[in-house]
Chains A and B, each alone.
Chain A
């Protein structure tokens, strides 16, 4: 019966081990609840050559976090805009070399970009060849409900100041060369974009859908101004509210529910075991005492 005396200790051990086992499960559940909101850790970079008298360049993108990684856009000429490159969030540098120049030659121009996850950026090579520089803009990724966003980049060197309107609404007034407006929220629709500079004015039909984000680039064309309509981002014309009820529970595990009833059983059982063990010990001691007393009687 010696092992029975250890019942109390065994029960205590059991309670302790159950608590230890439960602890990681609870902390794992807490961690799952705190997941990041963003879908993945990527951001986007787009590069554009908007310097009218600078010849074509090769554009290199390097990652600070991964020195071996690079991307190259070959022969990027005035007016060229790359599509967005999806890259992990982190620090990057952009270097431009003359088209065809050795990748190890000193760059004509370089700049650094910090990419935040879930954010988009446009790096513009702007200005005249002699004053060429890279300007980095963070591109908006959300629109006011029912609206489109539009901004203007003025990349015409022949016309130092250009005004731009969309459907009669002025969205850039006497915008100087190599500058960029902030985004304007406009009502969606198909309208005429007009770029005016006193001479060489241009008109273009542009459709802006609700939920879409655009950049209009004013360029020097062969016959006056040209308008390039860039799509920065697009989304739903009407953003749904919240999640969706996409299940009826036919395969749901009937949830584990609260752990309390189980813990109560464990606690109750342990108390019984401890109580039983103590009672057993007292009972055996009493019996031993009676046995030692009886011969003397």
Chain B
């Protein structure tokens, strides 16, 4: 092999190595965010099996009033937190809990267990590490969520869907709008983090309905 041939071979090998490295880097950086399972597609609730007739009790003339919520438990993702109460910001968005380690209930939304969607927010993280709702996107349809109320009673919800929405296209009515039954919305951040604004670009919304 001449010196010229060696030069050409070296250039070809270097090029090949660079191409492989580039491909490797591309594939490695395309992997999903660790700790966050991708949000599953919406699942329709199953129509009850026909084994035995289901009796629906006639609607109570006056719905029983329920006590305000004080704590939240989601065994599937290890959440156990007290609930603070939240209002609205000057911009009209829901306030977020001041500590990132606790979740909060928007006090102008229905109380959990009453008719309508109760709204509960928690942080995915602080600037240092995981927040109260770090693993929220890992919930699956059918997972139970428990809310304890100030009178000591507990109401159970089952997750029906987990969705991710770009904040720029947040479906306000679908998430917060009136519902005919007792529901729950658990909200946190997700998706890509924009270092320029220090905000996540998406919100994760967990939809759940009361079992009682």
A residues within 8 Å of B by Cβ?
A: 1, 4, 7-8, 10-11, 14-15, 17-18, 21-22, 25, 32-33, 35-42, 44, 46, 63, 66, 68-74, 76, 80-89, 103, 117-118, 120, 139, 141-143, 211-213, 228-257, 259, 262-277, 279-280, 283-284, 287
Contacts and interface: CB of A to CB of B under 8 A. Distances in A.
Interface in B83-127: 88, 91-94, 96, 100, 106, 108-110, 114-117, 119, 121-127
Given A69-B47, A251-B35, 19 more contacts: A4-B9, A103-B53, A142-B177, A213-B178, A228-B61, A230-B59, A234-B114, A234-B116, A236-B119, A239-B172, A240-B176, A244-B203, A246-B133, A272-B15, A275-B11, A275-B12, A276-B8, A276-B14, A277-B8
B187 interface: yes
Nearest to A35: B163
Nearest to B117: A235
Interface residues of B, number: 114
Interface in B145-192: 160-161, 163-167, 170-181, 187-190, 192
Contacts of B22: 18, 262-269
A266 B178 contact: no
Nearest to B45: A42
Given A82-B59, A235-B116, A272-B18, A243 B177 contact: no
A61 to B, nearest CB: 9
A21 B27 contact: yes
B180 to A, nearest CB: 4
Contacts of B93: 240-245
A248 B100 contact: yes
16 contacts: A25-B30, A35-B165, A37-B171, A71-B48, A87-B45, A142-B177, A211-B116, A243-B203, A244-B203, A245-B199, A248-B127, A269-B15, A269-B21, A274-B12, A276-B10, A279-B7
